[in-house]
Structure 1
Amino acid sequence: MIYSLFQLLQDSDVPGARLMDYITFRAGISFTLAMLMALVCGKYIIRRLQKMQVGEVVRNLGLEGQMKKTGTPTMGGVIIILSILVPSLLFGNLSNIYMILMLVATVWMGSIGFLDDYRKLKYHNKDGLKGKYKVIGQVGLGLLVGVTMWLSPSILMSENGSEVRRNISATERVESADGPTAELYTTTDNVVYSHPVKTPQTTIPFVKNNNFNYEWLTGWISDKNAAETLGWIVFVFVVIIVVTAVSNGANLTDGLDGLCAGTSAIIAVALAIMAYLGGHVIYSGYLDIMYIPGSGELVVYAAAFIGALVGFLWYNAFPAQVFMGDTGSLTIGGILAVFAILIRKELLIPLLCLIFFIEDLSVVLQVGYFKFTKRKYGEGRRIFKMTPLHHHFQKAGDGSVKCLVNFPKMPVPESKIVTRFWIVGLLLAALTFVTLKIR
């Protein structure tokens, strides 16, 4: 809204009227406002939740300090959502398709998480919204995002190519992620920029140009139009899987104070850097990476998202004064998934969000192994002391729980587990960038 107002003032003599043209400026303002909103409004929201007796229902799982968390206000994800939406609406370009999709994803997943938390509190149990309904909501969001990327004429990309990103004349204006925009055209030395095209292409590590086209999977079809359509259908299917997996992974990771928020903030910083570089025609050319016109606007949203998470950590760090609940965790997972998809980095998610996937996988393996051994031996056996994986480190490996993995022998303090997961998240983010240069 403020961005649109400043656009109207550009031709006036109002000082600073053109500052809103610069994404880095708007991103900085969005980050600051989001963090301040989380700090100031968070305190008020926590008090309201306490008065409403919106407390967490905690089951006794034999973990140290666990029962002390009983009654801690939950649904704190509302703080995160509000702190994202307000700066994005104020300083974002609301005509940008990427910004629109991120705002829709935020409200969509936030609504699902809110309903889940509401049912848990209303009926005083841990069941909440039935799993099938959450999955339907996640699939619906994935379908919406995938089909929009397929059909929207505003969502395009350009091939990698540093050889066409040089010798720009002083009189030319090229589309940039950080300033006024114009159409791309031929440079003075007759080197032509690759024109943005509609294609289901994405980024993949360890190959020459870091590009993978889903149409390659359907290249065996002789009809070119049919092959292209089927390639987009495959892309939409992948989008649905990514949204569902990352959203559930973030939900499972939200089990310790500050774990999900801190880990997600690290992932968001990595994605924000990728969005800025991929949305800037000069930087993308210099680094020989995919250029996505208009995607630089996502940096403004990412800044608000990071600011909201950092501000929320003020109250969510150990010992937590508020839990984000499914209102926060499902929303965070959906945001990270959709953001990665929009900047064509969904195939990097398995490494960048490896913590989420390990948490997911630990639960799947534990349940599958338990059922298998129960059928085979008459009693269920375990791989880990407890899942999701972060709880495994909280229990002692003294033989009281029969499992295949008894390490560590002594329980690890909650704050240390969280800090170590953050460190692993930083390492994964660095490795994600490194893999893109190994070709």
Structure 2
Amino acid sequence: MLYHFLYPLHTVFTGFNVFRYITFRAIGGAVTAFLIVLFLGPVFIRTMQRFQIGQVIRDDGPETHLAKKGVPTMGGVLILFGITLATLLWARLDNVLVWLGLFIILFYGMIGYIDDYRKVKKQNSKGLSAKGKLILQVIGGGVVGLFMYYHPGFDGHLSLPFFKNIHPDLGWFYVVFAIVVIVGASNAVNLTDGLDGLAAGPTIVTAAVYLVFSYLAGHVVLAEYLRLPYVAGSGELAIFCGGIFGGCLGFLWFNAYPAQMFMGDVGSLALGGALGSIAIIIKQEFLLAIVGGIFVMEALSVIMQVGYFKMTRGKRIFLMAPFHHHFEKKGWHETKVVVRFWIVSIILGLFAIATLKLR
């Protein structure tokens, strides 16, 4: 919005020329989202407390989590508000890819909101049915997959880190692949959101990395030089990524141990879906498995635990799944688990950026 109002005035005042640059607007989006969440956070917390909208704790979780019962939840609403407003202010609104990103984050946010609302209303950890949630997620992922498959200049070839000359073509199956990536990312972030600040940290790192890759993918010269798939217009997604970065950073101010509020499924499902959709749009799907390694590990720990439990009729690989609970059961304090997961996420983020030259 600011681009459309202020950039045309650069002929009158040359200072407005800065709105031409994606890098400037991405930083502006990040700072705006951060400030929105930071300043509205206290108001949101008081409102949730007034209406008694608090976290519902699972009965079979660590005993230390019982103290979290009643802490204001659904903070994802605040995160999504900050991201959406920041993106609308700083991105070019004539870019259809920006609207696609906003669609998926708000659609998945709606799914999470329904899930959270049912949990709070029933006062138990069972919200929207797994089947119902999955169907809605598949619909959202399918919209992105179909849109990109028929988007001008887009094709079904995959981009693999480390293998510059290998680009398998999935053809129409790319739509199914997109659904798997987006739905998988959404649920993986949701599973990670189990400790104070745990999901927000890796999301911040992942958003920062995809901000860089979105900018590069939308720059024809840099994309060709770095052997990245060029996706026209994808540079504007850097503003969207900046919004995710800033929104989650502002949320972390209140979500750091001991948490004053939780993001809930409205936040975790939406953020994961957004990251997955960005990966699809800029053709960096497998990069998500690297920079989002924490999310992958958490999801795999649940899959392995459930599968092994059924195969062995009651035996477990981990003391408890998702993976972060395993370390809690081993005696690690919650903050130690979270900070060490953040460290791993930062290392994975740096490694993901390094793949730019390892192709």
TM-score norm. by structure 2 comes to: 0.95
For the Cα contact (< 8 Å) 1:199–1:213, is it kept in 2? no
For the Cα contact (< 8 Å) 1:214–1:234, is it kept in 2? no
Larger CA deviation: 126-135 vs 19-28: 19-28
| TM-aligned CA deviation for residue 382 of structure 1 | 1.2
1:382 aligns with 2:316: yes
Please give the per-residue CA displacement for 1:140-185, whole angstroms capped at 9, x wherever unaligned.
Answer: 11110111112233xx3xxxxxxxxxxxxxxxxxxxxxxxxxxxxx
Please give the per-residue CA displacement for 1:301-360, whole angstroms capped at 9, x wherever unaligned.
Answer: 111110000000000001000000001100110011001111100122222222112211
Counterpart amino acid of residue 303 in structure 2: V
Q: Hey, what does 2:185 align to over in structure 1?
A: 246
Matches within 5 A, 1:30-429: 30-61=29-60, 63=62, 65-153=64-152, 156=153, 198-209=154-165, 212-215=167-170, 231=171, 233-374=172-313, 380-396=314-330, 411-429=331-349
Distance in 2 between the 1:435 and 1:35 partners? 29
Distance in 1 between the 2:126 and 2:63 partners? 23
| TM-aligned CA deviation for residue 429 of structure 1 | 1.7
Counterpart amino acid of residue 390 in structure 1: H
For the Cα contact (< 8 Å) 2:216–2:223, is it kept in 1? yes
RMSD (Å) for aligned C-alpha atoms? 1.6
Distance in 2 between the 1:142 and 1:214 partners? 19
DSSP-derived class of the 1:303 partner:
helix
Counterpart amino acid of residue 314 in structure 1: W
For the Cα contact (< 8 Å) 2:142–2:179, is it kept in 1? yes
Counterpart amino acid of residue 188 in structure 2: G
Identical aligned residues as a percent: 44
Aligned length: 359
For the Cα contact (< 8 Å) 2:164–2:227, is it kept in 1? no
| TM-aligned CA deviation for residue 132 of structure 1 | 1.0
| TM-aligned CA deviation for residue 70 of structure 1 | 1.1
For the Cα contact (< 8 Å) 2:279–2:285, is it kept in 1? yes
- Radius of gyration: which is bigger? 1
| TM-aligned CA deviation for residue 15 of structure 1 | 4.9
| TM-aligned CA deviation for residue 427 of structure 1 | 1.6
Structure 1 runs of 4+ aligned residues shifted over 4 Å read: none
For the Cα contact (< 8 Å) 1:257–1:318, is it kept in 2? yes
**Which structure has the highest helix share of the two?**
2
DSSP-derived class of the 2:230 partner:
coil
Please give the per-residue CA displacement for 1:218-256, whole angstroms capped at 9, x wherever unaligned.
Answer: xxxxxxxxxxxxx1x211110000011111100000000
| TM-aligned CA deviation for residue 38 of structure 1 | 0.7
Change in 2 beyond 3 A, CA 1:208/1:32: closer
Distance in 2 between the 1:32 and 1:359 partners? 30
Q: Which runs of 5+ in 2 are unaligned?
A: none
Distance in 2 between the 1:201 and 1:295 partners? 17
Q: Hey, what does 1:163 align to over in structure 2?
A: none
For the Cα contact (< 8 Å) 1:204–1:436, is it kept in 2? no
Please give the per-residue CA displacement for 1:373-418, whole angstroms capped at 9, x wherever unaligned.
Answer: 22xxxxx11111101010000013xxxxxxxxxxxxxx10100100
Q: Hey, what does 1:176 align to over in structure 2?
A: none
For the Cα contact (< 8 Å) 2:218–2:235, is it kept in 1? yes
For the Cα contact (< 8 Å) 1:60–1:66, is it kept in 2? no
DSSP-derived class of the 2:320 partner:
coil
For the Cα contact (< 8 Å) 2:226–2:357, is it kept in 1? no
For the Cα contact (< 8 Å) 2:229–2:282, is it kept in 1? no
For the Cα contact (< 8 Å) 1:106–1:334, is it kept in 2? yes
Counterpart amino acid of residue 39 in structure 1: L
Q: Which runs of 5+ in 1 are unaligned?
A: 157-197, 216-230, 375-379, 397-410
Q: Hey, what does 2:9 align to over in structure 1?
A: 9
Matches within 5 A, 1:11-30: 11=11, 13-30=12-29
DSSP-derived class of the 2:280 partner:
helix
For the Cα contact (< 8 Å) 2:219–2:235, is it kept in 1? yes
Counterpart amino acid of residue 136 in structure 1: I
Distance in 1 between the 2:243 and 2:311 partners? 45
DSSP-derived class of the 1:42 partner:
helix
Distance in 2 between the 1:8 and 1:148 partners? 31
Counterpart amino acid of residue 415 in structure 1: T
| TM-aligned CA deviation for residue 82 of structure 1 | 0.5
Distance in 2 between the 1:282 and 1:418 partners? 39
